[in-house]
């Protein structure tokens, strides 16, 4: 019977290896080191492992002496471990020197020391073909230090950690060098983006194009193997006697052209494939031109922005292919007759692609799956949902298959809106909340996530409008504070509350209902328009910062809409306005198509006029300011009277209303 001590059991190779070891009838006991914070993760994984009674977790950390194991555990292990399998490592070509050295070098040194102390039968170091660095030519299993150079800290620290194992004489050792490890060839299971997976977002975008073969430069060769093959081969080589002080390459015996790998996944995705490669001097020149862009600041920014959008780290450009060809003759000889065969990528590429699209695609939350349209199944927060634009939008979202999460202060009115939606066969949930209350907003968002799992979109519709000239506001600072409290601070508060969730999912769309007044000069709306303008510019900046996280923003410069908010301003009885239903159509356009901006021709014209002739625009707006007086309710003289049911405006006022349809005067 055989006993094992395993580090890195929760990693991709580790958990596949654990299934093999625990299923082996010759296995008696398997101790696994696990950090305190990963104990729950190990327990979840172990539920699917066979013979769990053979498993003994021990709290430890490879970055600490003795792997952080207690004295009692060390005593328990002494003389009982036949195989110490060291799988714990940091694999990240973007990680810095400090992180790589702490895990890969110090972690290996600590493991070697423990192996000697507990008198382990053999130390099995899972290294990597990265130790070959920039070596050009055939790299055999007997080769190690060939004067190669290392392009990243990962390459260097894998070499140095393997060297530590080779140079010590206290414990017999074996070294295993996998190439790029992809998911399980049968299930597709994978836990991180690596190797060819970096190409997947680009392939997914190409899948939307006609399947016309194209030409590409020769990108050289790579080498990938599925994790189930690695785990099976590793288990077989670990337990087999007589193999100490040898190295095994767990690789594809034939180099795989990068473009052939690309084509295998492109076919799985239904994307165009590369029909012809441009090789030789011209092909290398094209690749060199792309690499040269790192020396051109303006081009570099554009290139890196594109790579980030595709989820491809810039460092991958220099590490996409292997200059080495990895010989695996000795490994294949040992595995002959065991039934452990390396499957062809073409036979399991579709399995990997399907798993990636379902579980690993960082932008999978963006994909639409509902049969009723782009909003089908989307959870959409709508503030100010008890009446007006918010209510009309909620009804339309629900009719499109979305789930509006209705927010307003008055619960009874929200209940009525929800009833309308439910009666029509839709779904909705209500959340009475004072959006000026920081704690209440965060509790509301937590409740939404608990009840619905995710939030896709947010419509910041709740607002307060104040129509009063500045000369009547000298002692009314509270007007500006109230406007900012609901129109700006409340909206930003809610945005900040949902952004962590949206950025984690790499998807979210936020619609802010602004005002046509921001596009021009709206006299008497200094409090209202300023608060909306603040939100406009917050959103512009947020859209830039959140671009890489897949969060998008739409600003709607809404014209005058006949809602309860404008009812107290009787002068607007004489103005042509949009209905809440028409305004909701603009919001639906923002949710479905997600443009940067939605407005009206009038708003665009006024904005252009101010930008081109600001002085003249000020003069014209001043005349309008004189034509439309402050209402009596605002503290003005109210000389322009609007009788009940009447629409009497002066000639100049009527002309301005027609000329600037939808504008707030």
Which of 200-204, 220-224, 405-409 comes out lowest in average pLDDT? Answer: 200-204
Q: Does residue 23 belong to any structural domain of this protein?
A: yes
Percent of the chain with pLDDT over 90: 62
Does the structure show a pLDDT above 70 at 164? yes
Which of 158-162, 181-185, 642-646 comes out lowest in average pLDDT? Answer: 642-646
Q: Is 127 exposed, middle or buried (0-12, 13-18, 19+ CB in 10 A)?
A: buried
- Examine the domain organization and report whether 357 and 372 are in the same domain: no
Give the pTM: 0.74
CA atoms within 13 A on the CB side of 641: 3
Identify the DSSP state of 180.
Answer: E
Q: How far apart are CA 458 and CA 435, in angstroms?
A: 14
Which of 123-127, 348-352, 372-376, 430-434 comes out lowest in average pLDDT? Answer: 372-376
When pLDDT is cut at 50, 70 and 90, the band that residue 464 belongs to is confident
pLDDT on residue 548: 82
Q: Which among 362, 380, 415 is the end of a domain? A: 362
Which of 54-63, 93-102, 107-116, 368-377 comes out lowest in average pLDDT? Answer: 93-102
Which of 305-314, 455-464, 598-607 comes out lowest in average pLDDT? Answer: 305-314
- Examine the domain organization and report whether 9 and 154 are in the same domain: yes
> What's the pLDDT tens digit per position in 519-573?
877 777 888 889 999 999 999 999 999 988 889 999 999 887 766 655 555 555 5
Does the structure show a pLDDT above 90 at 223? yes
When pLDDT is cut at 50, 70 and 90, the band that residue 619 belongs to is low
- Give the H or E element holding residue 138: strand 137-139
566 vs 201 pLDDT, higher one: 201
pLDDT on residue 481: 93
Q: Which among 330, 362, 394 is the end of a domain? A: 362
**Residue 404 backbone dihedrals phi, psi, to 5 degrees:** -75, 130
Measured in Å, how far apart are the chain's first and last C-alpha atoms? 88
Does the structure show a pLDDT above 80 at 643? no
Does the structure show a pLDDT above 70 at 316? no
pLDDT on residue 618: 65
- Examine the domain organization and report whether 92 and 56 are in the same domain: yes
Region 39-53: mean pLDDT is 93
Does the structure show a pLDDT above 90 at 331? yes
Q: Does residue 570 belong to any structural domain of this protein?
A: yes
Q: Does residue 665 belong to any structural domain of this protein?
A: no
pLDDT on residue 336: 96
When pLDDT is cut at 50, 70 and 90, the band that residue 367 belongs to is confident
Average per-residue pLDDT in the chain? 86
> What's the pLDDT tens digit per position in 409-451?
999 999 999 999 999 999 999 999 999 999 999 999 999 999 9
Q: Which two tokens stand for residue 438?
A: 């920081």
Identify the DSSP state of 630.
Answer: P
pLDDT on residue 308: 62
pLDDT on residue 641: 44
Does the structure show a pLDDT above 60 at 591? yes
List helix spans (H) across 338-472.
Answer: 345-355, 388-399, 411-423, 438-452
Q: Does residue 50 belong to any structural domain of this protein?
A: yes
pLDDT on residue 314: 59
- Active-site positions read 528
Does the structure show a pLDDT above 90 at 304? no
Beta-bridged to residue 59, according to DSSP, are: 34
When pLDDT is cut at 50, 70 and 90, the band that residue 645 belongs to is very low
When pLDDT is cut at 50, 70 and 90, the band that residue 640 belongs to is very low
Q: Which two tokens stand for residue 276?
A: 């012809």
Does the structure show a pLDDT above 50 at 644? no
Q: How far apart are CA 284 and CA 218, in angstroms?
A: 7
Identify the DSSP state of 484.
Answer: I
Q: Which among 343, 362, 381 is the end of a domain? A: 362
- Examine the domain organization and report whether 348 and 373 are in the same domain: no
- Examine the domain organization and report whether 70 and 83 are in the same domain: yes
pLDDT on residue 499: 97
Q: Does residue 664 belong to any structural domain of this protein?
A: no
When pLDDT is cut at 50, 70 and 90, the band that residue 655 belongs to is low
Q: Which two tokens stand for residue 550?
A: 């897949």
Q: Does residue 308 belong to any structural domain of this protein?
A: yes
Region 606-623: mean pLDDT is 66
Burial 267-304, CB ≥16 within 10 A → b, else e: bbbebbbbeebbeeeebeeebeeeeebeeeeeeeeebe
Beta-bridged to residue 139, according to DSSP, are: 326
Q: The CATH number of the domain where 488 resides is what? A: 3.40.50.720
Q: How far apart are CA 389 and CA 382, in angstroms?
A: 10
Does the structure show a pLDDT above 50 at 656? yes
When pLDDT is cut at 50, 70 and 90, the band that residue 389 belongs to is very high
Q: Does residue 353 belong to any structural domain of this protein?
A: yes
- Examine the domain organization and report whether 337 and 454 are in the same domain: no
pLDDT on residue 283: 46
- Examine the domain organization and report whether 18 and 42 are in the same domain: yes
pLDDT on residue 371: 80
- Examine the domain organization and report whether 443 and 469 are in the same domain: yes
- Is residue 395 within 8 Å of 419, Cβ to Cβ? no
Is residue 279 helix, strand or coil? coil
- Examine the domain organization and report whether 444 and 315 are in the same domain: no
554 vs 290 pLDDT, higher one: 554
Burial 179-211, CB ≥16 within 10 A → b, else e: bbbbbbbeebbbeebbbbbbbbbbbbebeeeee
Count of domains observed in the chain: 2
Region 265-276: mean pLDDT is 90
663 vs 35 pLDDT, higher one: 35
Q: How far apart are CA 321 and CA 211, in angstroms?
A: 26
**Angle 345-190-83 (CA atoms, 0-180°, nearest 5)?**
95
pLDDT on residue 657: 60
pLDDT on residue 309: 60
- Examine the domain organization and report whether 510 and 393 are in the same domain: yes
300 vs 145 pLDDT, higher one: 145
- Examine the domain organization and report whether 538 and 604 are in the same domain: yes
Q: Does residue 571 belong to any structural domain of this protein?
A: yes
Does the structure show a pLDDT above 80 at 289? no
- Examine the domain organization and report whether 374 and 355 are in the same domain: no
Range of the domain at 77: 2-362
């Amino acid at each position: 019977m055989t006993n094992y001590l395993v580090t890195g059991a929760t990693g991709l190779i580790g958990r596949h290896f654990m299934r093999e070891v625990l299923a082996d009838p010759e296995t008696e006991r398997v101790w696994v080191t696990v950090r305190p914070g990963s104990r729950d993760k190990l327990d979840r994984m172990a539920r699917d492992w066979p013979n769990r009674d053979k498993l003994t977790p021990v709290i430890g950390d490879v970055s600490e002496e003795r792997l952080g194991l207690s004295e009692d555990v060390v005593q328990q292990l002494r003389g009982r471990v036949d195989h110490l399998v060291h799988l714990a490592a940091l694999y990240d070509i973007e990680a810095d020197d400090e992180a790589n050295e702490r895990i890969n070098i110090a972690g290996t040194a600590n493991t070697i020391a423990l192996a000697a102390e507990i008198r382990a039968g053999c130390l099995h170091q899972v290294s990597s073909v990265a130790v070959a660095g920039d070596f050009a030519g055939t790299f055999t299993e007997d080769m190690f230090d060939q004067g190669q150079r290392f392009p990243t800290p990962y390459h260097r620290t894998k070499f140095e950690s393997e060297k530590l194992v080779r140079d010590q004489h206290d414990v017999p050792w074996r070294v295993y060098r996998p190439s790029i490890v992809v998911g399980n060839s049968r299930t597709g299971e994978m836990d991180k983006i690596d190797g060819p997976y970096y190409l997947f977002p680009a392939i997914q975008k190409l899948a939307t194009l006609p399947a016309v073969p194209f030409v590409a430069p020769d990108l050289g060769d790579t080498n990938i193997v599925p994790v189930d093959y690695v785990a099976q081969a590793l288990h077989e080589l670990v337990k087999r006697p007589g193999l100490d002080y040898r190295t095994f390459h767990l690789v594809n015996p034939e180099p795989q052209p990068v473009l052939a790998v690309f084509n295998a996944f492109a076919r799985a995705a239904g994307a165009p494939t590369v029909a012809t490669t441009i090789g030789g001097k011209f092909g290398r020149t094209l690749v060199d031109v792309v690499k040269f862009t790192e020396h051109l600041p303006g081009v570099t920014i554009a290139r890196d922005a594109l790579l980030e959008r595709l989820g491809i780290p810039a460092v991958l450009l220099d590490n996409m292919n292997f200059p080495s060809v990895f010989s695996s003759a000795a490994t294949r000889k040992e595995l002959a007759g065991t039934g452990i065969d390396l499957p062809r990528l073409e036979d399991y590429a579709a399995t990997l692609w399907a798993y990636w699209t379902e579980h690993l695609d960082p932008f999978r939350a963006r994909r639409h799956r509902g049969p009723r349209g782009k909003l089908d199944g989307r959870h959409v927060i709508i503030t100010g949902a008890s009446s007006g634009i918010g209510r009309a939008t909620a009804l339309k979202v629900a009719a499109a298959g979305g789930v509006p999460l209705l927010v307003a202060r008055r619960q009874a009115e929200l209940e009525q809106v929800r009833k309308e939606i439910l009666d029509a066969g839709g779904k909705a949930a209500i959340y009475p909340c004072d959006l000026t209350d920081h704690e209440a907003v965060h509790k509301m968002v937590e409740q939404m996530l608990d009840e619905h799992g995710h939030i896709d979109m947010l419509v910041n519709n709740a607002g307060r409008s104040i129509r009063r000239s500045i000369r009547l506001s000298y002692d009314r600072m509270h007007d500006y504070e109230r406007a900012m409290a609901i129109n700006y601070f409340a909206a930003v508060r809610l945005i900040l509350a949902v952004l962590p969730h949206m950025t984690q999912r790499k998807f979210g769309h936020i619609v802010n209902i602004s005002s046509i007044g921001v596009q021009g000069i709206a006299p008497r709306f200094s409090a209202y328009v300023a608060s909306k303008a603040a939100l406009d510019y917050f959103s512009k900046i947020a859209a830039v910062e959140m671009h890489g996280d897949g969060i998008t923003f739409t600003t709607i410069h809404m014209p005058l809409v006949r809602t309860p908010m404008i009812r107290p301003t009787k002068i607007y009885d004489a103005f042509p306005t949009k209905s809440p239903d028409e305004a909701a159509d603009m919001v639906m356009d923002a949710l479905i198509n997600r443009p940067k901006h939605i407005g009206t021709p009038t708003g665009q014209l006024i904005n252009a006029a101010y930008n081109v002739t600001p002085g003249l625009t000020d003069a014209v707006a001043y005349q309008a300011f004189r034509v439309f007086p402050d209402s009596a309710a605002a503290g003005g003289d109210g000389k322009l009277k609007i009788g009940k049911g009447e629409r009497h405006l002066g000639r100049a006022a009527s002309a301005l209303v027609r000329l600037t349809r939808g504008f707030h005067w």
